[in-house]
Every structure is written in structure tokens, then in C-alpha cells.
Structure 1
Amino acid sequence: MNRMRTLRMVVRHELRALIADRSLALVCALLIALIGYAFYNGLTATENRDRTVASVLDAERKAVEANVQTLHRIETGQQRPGPFANPANPATIGGGGAGRYAVIPTSGLAPVAIGQGDMIPNYYAIGYGSKVSFMYDSEIESPWNLLNGHFDLAFLIVFLLPLLVFALSYNLLSSEREAGTLRMLLSQPLDLATLLTGKVAVRATAVIGIAAILPVILLLIFRPEARGAEQIAGVALWMGLVAVYGLFWFALAFLINSLGRSSAFNALSLIACWTLIVLVAPVLLNLAVGMAEPAPSRTELTNRTLAIKAENLRSYDKLFHGDYNYVAKPDALLAKNGRIEMPPRARATFLADRDMDAKIDDLLKRFDDQLRAQQRLIDRLGPISPAVIAYEGFSSLAGNSSRRYLAFKAQVDAFHDHWRAYFVPRILGGRAMGEAELRSLPRWTWRELPAGETRADTRWRIGLLLTLTAALLVAGVLRLRRYSIA
């Protein structure tokens, strides 16, 4: 009871001292400004992606109506069909003329971490073309590489929050000792642990409170999607992850201050720790993952793709150079009794794309398997850097993580197979498309990752950071027993 009373006295005194010298106010004001700017960047990026998704879905709706109207004009003799713009031709519709898109929506918490949001596609135009032509034409970036490129809330918390913590906490005891006041303070019924705890508590409450609460207030004001009941748990986990990450750095400052060295030594030690934890360790982790689970060669993919294309050109040479009688007889393109004459080149293109995927599917599967293996390895080795632990958690809560992107690719892959299977009998059998079929083509549906998995992963990260924080505090308390005030 006496210890708690003493702690409250230390807190009140420290708060008055910080208010008087304005250091806490300056740091908090800077943090508020940085949060506002970071949130603005994240919100802008999210709104841009939302507009993109809305525009492609609108384009899909308009494409359906345009195909129906064109088909009606052709059937009534108002317009002649073309070989590459005939909605009755299943090859035209299946090859991309339907305007179908597979899209991944942004989550309610998307503004808190851009993550891979501006690097990965949030939509794919669906056709029967080979997957290699539209799903494997870009690299998936590691969370750490992307972390260096975006000033969002996740960047601010992971990178800059520790520096603000250091600015307030590098000289908690050393300044008292250097000013000659520490001996006087300890002549009172006050021990070093209580004194240091009170000093840390004032600073941690202010800094972590702002870092954890202000973004949530902004999110609830400017992001209506974050106000739903399903999002509340994610918001709470975001606050918890920010809080424990901030506590980790305050615990580190507690430990460094307990060593009894000079203010300059403390500052240099904290910066060195920040460099190792935030800069060096994640880079080493990235290199280790790349060496342990190297991705298949892009050169191999390109060379194999070119070889298969050349082989397909030879296999379907007759179709590619078939009789184009519709040039002289455009009425040959008209549907008759539910049947349509397929242009040879359209049939050849469909068969070549189908063969491409059949022959290269094993290599594409290796790409996806390797990306999943890399993510699993990052999850296992992530504890070497609290920065990686926190950033991966922020990206997961925001819905901009590697795991969600890989799920999107897997679902697009399955939908692409379903789309192609739908058109196989129509293209090979010469079955014409009617208005009813144009309106009832297979539609894309995104299946969100189970919220329970994301929450469990975040809780694991919070628990891990709490464990590291507790270890630092215990080490600091033990070290204080050997603290010299001379």
C-alpha cells in the first residue's frame, strides 16, 4: 500500500515536471501530427482501391448490357456481326468480352496498414486465357520490402514510435544522477524501481494512449466500414497490438536506464537496439527466407512459356491459318438454331491457352507453394524482430497481408478453371450464346478468410510481445539492485 502511494506521488511529480519543461507536450503534438498524416495516406490509398473496385464492377454491369443490346441488333438485322465482337460467339464472350472481373474488397481496417495494398492487384479481368498471362506477371513483395515504401500508420508505429519513446526515456535516471538530485530522492522512502516505474508510466500512458486511441477515433469517423459489429474485435486487437509494441520499447528503455550509465550511453544504446531490431533483423530475416525457400526462377517460367507457345503454334497451325470464309460471307457468323460457326483462329486460341495451363500448371503451383512456404517461415522466424511481429499483425488486421493475397489468387485460380470449363462445350461444340446465357454467366464471389484465424494470429503476436516486454522488465528490475548512484 505504501509502495502504491509512493508510486502515485512519483507519477504526479513527474507529470508536473514534464508539463513544465514541455517535452512531453512537444512529443505528443508531433505524434498527433504524424498520426494525422499517416492516416490520411492510408485512407487515400484505401479510397482509391475502393473506387477502382466500384469502377470495374460498373464496367462489368455495362458490358453485360452492351452485349445483350448488340446481340439484339444482330438478331434483328440492324447490325452485322464481326469476327471479334460477336456476343453470340462463345469464344468472344469467354475470352474477355463478358467483362467479368474477380475483385478483392478492402477491409474495414484497411487504412491502418497499406501493406501490399498498392503492389498487388485488387482485381483480375477474367477470360479463358492462360493464367500465366495475367496472374503471374508480377512479383509478390515481402512485408519488409513494402514497409520501407509507405508512410502509413503501420510504418509510423513500427518505425517512428520507438524513436519518440527514446526521446522521452533515454535519461530517466541518468539525468537525475548527473544533476545531483538522485541521491536526494533516494534519501526519501523511495526505491529505484518505484522511481523508474513512475517515470516510465507517465510517458507510456501519454504516448501509447495517443498512438492506440487516436487512429481508432479517426477510423471510426472517416471509415464507416470499420463501425460494424464484426470490426470491433479487429479494432480492439489493433489497439492491443499498438499498446504492447509501445510497451516493449518502454521496457527496453527501462532496462537501458537500469544499467547506471550516462545519458549519452543510454541514447546510443537505444539507437543501436532500434537499428538492430527494426532495420538489421528484418533484412536478415528476409535474406534467410529467400535462401531457405527460394522462389522458382522467373526466367524458367518465361522460357518455358515461350517454348509452349511455339509448340502450340505448330500444333494448331492449320487452325491459325484456317479458312476465313466469313470475310467474304459475313452471314456465316450469324447464329442459327442455337449453333454458330466458330472462326478457326478463335478455336485455335482457346485450345492453345488451355494447353498452356495444362503444361505449365506444375510450375505455377510451385510459385504459389513457395510463397506459402516463405510466409510460414516468416511466421516462425518473426520473433527475432518485434518490428516484424507487429508489422505482420497490422497488415493482417488491415486485410493487406500476404496471406490474404495468396487466398485471393487461389480463389481466382479456381474461378478461372470454372469459367473455362463453362465455355469448353460451347466453343468446341459451336453452341451460340443467347440473351439468357449472357445474363447468367458464372459470377465471381469473394470468400473472406475466417476472422477467427486473423484474431488468433494477432492474439499470438500480442502474447509474444508481452512475453518479450516482461523479460525486459524483469531484467531491468534485477539490474537495478546493482545500480550505483555514485
Structure 2
Amino acid sequence: MMRWLVHEWRLVRRSRLCLSALVLLALLSAVSLWSGAREAARQQANIARLAPLQEQDVQAVARRFAQGGDAGYAAYYTFYGTQDPPSGAAFLALGLRDVAPYVLRVRSLGLQAQLYEGETFNPELALAGRFDFAFVLIYLAPLFIIALLHDLVSGERQAGRLRMLLAMPGAGTRLWLRRAGLRTLLAIAAMALPLLLAAAVLPIGPAALAGVLAVLVAYAAFWCAVCVLVGARPWSSTAHATALMGCWVVLTLVLPTLAQMAITRGIPVDQGVDLMLAQRQKVHGAWDEPRDATMQKFFQTHPQWKDTAPLPTRFHWKWYYAFQQLGDESVAPAVAAYRDGLARRQDWTERLGWLLPGVAAQTALHRLAHTDLPAQMRYQERIEAFHREMREFYYPYVFNERPFGPDDFAKRPRFQMQVPALAWPLAALLSGLAWALGMAALATRALRRVSAQA
């Protein structure tokens, strides 16, 4: 075994194209890991930098209530910071963290308007995306594998060595499988070695690392099989390269784009900004509605406060917070439909991975890195739960007109950051493995016809 391995390595070493491709792939992998780690560190640094500033802001509000005061003012002026720190594997595939907020300040007013204010960004700034390891693996690695394998058989045929090579002992299907396997393993090593070095200094867990390596191996094996399958045809090296480039364009660019367009059209979902505008319109309209009618609507869903003192003729905070919450409740069906639509889109995207291995690999990487849509939705759910805790903290003071002093302010709720548990993307991993094994079987069958075509 070592003899043929040494021989095949000599052939690779003599090829400037192969060596250059492997070195360049390793460099691109290293740069992508550095770029992703830098962005993850920047986000973590922003969270750490904003924490003391947030505390300074809260303490400034607390000093205003050193002698006691109205809890309604404290609830209005106190902002609470929420954070969604990057996971240990986020640097591999930044996903939605490039556009979705990972730090959000909220207060006891209508929540929906606060949740989706972050969507008012310039989409052109996010168009290019981030250069991370997922980009290198999904889009660039197939090009390097094509460069390594497109002339596996046709190069020998054009050099006039194919008949002689097939006549040698140990030639045939095993010869091509050894050559294709070695070059693919070298391509995998060119990406895996920088990844392992990065894992030695970055806080990625062993389970997440194992999952990323499994995605890497399965996706590279799929493209290796595609190259062998096309390369077994009795064409020239140029024709093989052209056909493989066409496969790359179709499988990584055209079909995923068309499929996502079909999913978007088939499952229409309003923008979060629309929810923000609807909620604000309801809140602003409440100023012109009778106050008693507003309170009666509020008491229908919050009967625990209906026996409190009636509203005075002047402004009162409990009326203000009542119509703020009614604004959230008025868009609750739209919010549920919005999230249900996003969840259904995500489900169909994951099903798409059974048809397109690139989509399966990307879905798996984003799930392992906790940078996909479900991770963002979980962050919003944590904010909603915390916002409910804030209201439940202030409402007894506001509705019962209890005094609010420094000791009460010190009992305010605090948002707790959570370390997400690893979620293994089993469906995406199984679909990638199925594609790799299926294409490998077709490629092996095609190689058996090479001797007949020589």
C-alpha cells in the first residue's frame, strides 16, 4: 500500500497545478478562518464594551430615584440590554449574525416595535456577505477539486499513456480510485489542517468540530465522485473541465437560487418592519381613543388589575402601559403568522438539502455554528420572555400606585445570556452522506468502462 501511495504522491508533487491548487486552498481556508474569528471576536468585544455603558445608563436612572418616585418613570427611562454572544463555532459560518442584531436594548414599552427596528439597514451593505469557512467549503472547494481531478483519465489519454497504463498490473478501476482518493484527501487536508489549528486556539467544542469535519469530508467526497463520473467520459480534458464547471454553476448557484425564489414565492412572509409599523400605528392611535375603553380592553386579557383604583383625570402611567401592551397584543396574530412562515421556509430549505448537497452542507454548518434562522428566533423568544418579566416587575408598582425607591430598583430583572446547546443537523448530514455514497457508486461504475474506451 505504501508503494502506490508514494508513487501517486510523486505524481502529485510533479504537477505544478496540483501543488499550487492545494497551497492556495489551504491559504484561502486559513484566511477565511481568520476572517470569521475576527468578526466573532469583534461581536464579542462589542458586547463586552456595551455592558459597562449600559450599566452607567441604568445607574444614571437609579440616581433619579434615590429618594423614591413613580415606577412609571423608572419603567419608561430604564433600558435593559440583551445580548446574543457568538457560539464557539460561529466563526466557521457567520450566517444571519451578519445582518441580525446580536445586541438589543429594550424597555417596558411595546416590544414588537423594538424587536424589528434593526431591520432598517441598507441591504446593499450585506449583499457581499462575509468571507468565512462555509463560503470556502461550499463555493470554492469544488473548484479546486475540479482542478485536481478534471484530467484524471483524459490527461493520460492525451499523453498517449492510457493503454500502457491499463496494461500494467494493478491497473483498472482501483488505479483511478486511488488517484482520485489521494487528491481528494489532500484537498480535505488543505482545509482540515487550518481548521484543526484554529480549533486549538478558539473555543469550538469537539462535538461541533467533529460535525464540521463530517460535512467537509462528505461534501468533498461528493465533488470527487462528480469529477470522476464526468472524467470517465471519452472526452478531452478541456471538455471535462467545461462540463464540470457547468455542474458547479448549476449545483451551487443556479438551482439553489431558483429553489429559494420558489420557496419565497410559495410561502409569502411580511417583513418585520411591517409588524413594527402596525404596532406603532396602534399605539399612536390609542392617544385619541377614550381612556376608559382602553382600560376595559386591557382588563379583558389582564383581569388581575381590574380592581385597582380608577384612572384620575390627569395622565396616569397605567393607562400608558396598558395601551402599549394592547399594541403588542393587536399584532400578535400577525407575529405568529410571520414566525410560522419563517419556520416553514426553514423547513423547506432543509428539505431542499436532500436534492442539493450544497444546501445540505450549508444548512449543517449554520446549525452547528448556531447562526441560522432558528438560532435568531430563539434569541427573540428569550427577549420576549425577559420583556414579560420586566412588565410583571413594574406592573404591581404602577397599577397599585406603590412607591418606588432604590431598594425596589435594585430588584429589577436582568437578562441572562445563554450558551446554546449543540444541535446536530442529522438530516443535513445524512443527506450529504447519501449524496456522496450515491455519486461514488455511479463513479465506480463509470470507471469500469474506461478500459473499454481506451
Q: Using the alignment, how far apart are the partners of 2:43 and 2:377 within structure 1?
A: 18
Instruction: Give the Å deviation of 1:122.
Output: 0.7
* Partner of residue 363, structure 1: 334
* Partner of residue 105, structure 1: 85
Q: Secondary structure of the residue that 1:438 maps to in structure 2?
A: helix
1:116 aligns with 2:96: yes
1:236 aligns with 2:210: yes
User: CA 1:154 to 1:464, structure 2 compared with 1: closer, same or farther past 3 Å?
Assistant: same
* Partner of residue 445, structure 1: 416
* Partner of residue 327, structure 1: none
1:91 aligns with 2:108: no
Q: Using the alignment, how far apart are the partners of 2:433 and 2:313 within structure 1?
A: 65
User: CA 1:292 to 1:165, structure 2 compared with 1: closer, same or farther past 3 Å?
Assistant: same
Q: Using the alignment, how far apart are the partners of 2:179 and 2:92 within structure 1?
A: 30
Q: Using the alignment, how far apart are the partners of 1:244 and 1:139 within structure 2?
A: 36
Q: Using the alignment, how far apart are the partners of 1:482 and 1:342 within structure 2?
A: 92
Percentage of matched positions with identical amino acids: 22
Contact 1:342 1:430 survives alignment (8 Å): no
* Partner of residue 205, structure 1: 185
Instruction: Give the Å deviation of 1:139.
Output: 5.1
Contact 1:411 1:446 survives alignment (8 Å): no
Q: Which amino acid aligns with 1:112?
A: L
Q: Which moved more, 1:174-183 or 1:387-396?
A: 387-396
* Partner of residue 105, structure 2: 125
1:412 to 383, 392, 397: 383
Instruction: Give the Å deviation of 1:163.
Output: 0.4
1:137 aligns with 2:117: yes
Contact 1:212 1:243 survives alignment (8 Å): no
1:254 to 221, 228, 231: 228
Q: Deviations over 1:169-194 (max 9, x none)?
A: 10000000111001011111233211
Q: Which amino acid aligns with 1:123?
A: V
Q: Using the alignment, how far apart are the partners of 2:392 and 2:29 within structure 1?
A: 49
* Partner of residue 351, structure 2: 380
Q: Which amino acid aligns with 1:122?
A: Y
* Partner of residue 482, structure 1: 449
Structure 2 runs not aligned, ≥5 long = 293-311
Instruction: Give the Å deviation of 1:309.
Output: 3.4
2:392 to 410, 413, 421: 421
1:351 to 316, 319, 322: 322
Structure 1 runs not aligned, ≥5 long = 76-86, 319-340
Q: Using the alignment, how far apart are the partners of 2:50 and 2:404 within structure 1?
A: 23
2:255 to 278, 281, 302: 281
Q: Deviations over 1:432-451 (max 9, x none)?
A: 32222212211212444442
* Partner of residue 322, structure 1: none
Q: Deviations over 1:339-361 (max 9, x none)?
A: xx998275554233122112111
Instruction: Give the Å deviation of 1:220.
Output: 2.2
Q: Which amino acid aligns with 2:195?
A: P
Instruction: Give the Å deviation of 1:307.
Output: 4.4
* Partner of residue 22, structure 2: 28
Contact 1:245 1:386 survives alignment (8 Å): yes
Q: Using the alignment, how far apart are the partners of 2:276 and 2:44 within structure 1?
A: 33
Contact 2:113 2:276 survives alignment (8 Å): no
Provide TM-score, normalisation by structure 1: 0.82
Q: Secondary structure of the residue that 1:117 maps to in structure 2?
A: helix
* Partner of residue 295, structure 1: 269
Q: Using the alignment, how far apart are the partners of 2:276 and 2:80 within structure 1?
A: 27
Q: Which moved more, 1:34-43 or 1:51-60?
A: 51-60
Q: Deviations over 1:88-140 (max 9, x none)?
A: 33223222x33311211211111111111121111221211112211133559
* Partner of residue 36, structure 2: 42
Contact 1:183 1:485 survives alignment (8 Å): no
* Partner of residue 283, structure 2: 309
Q: Secondary structure of the residue that 2:340 maps to in structure 1?
A: helix
Q: Which amino acid aligns with 2:402?
A: R
1:433 aligns with 2:404: yes
Contact 1:161 1:246 survives alignment (8 Å): yes
Contact 1:176 1:182 survives alignment (8 Å): yes
Instruction: Give the Å deviation of 1:147.
Output: 8.8
Provide TM-score, normalisation by structure 2: 0.88
* Partner of residue 431, structure 2: 464
Q: Which amino acid aligns with 2:268?
A: P
User: CA 1:300 to 1:17, structure 2 compared with 1: closer, same or farther past 3 Å?
Assistant: closer
User: CA 1:124 to 1:343, structure 2 compared with 1: closer, same or farther past 3 Å?
Assistant: farther
Contact 2:352 2:359 survives alignment (8 Å): no
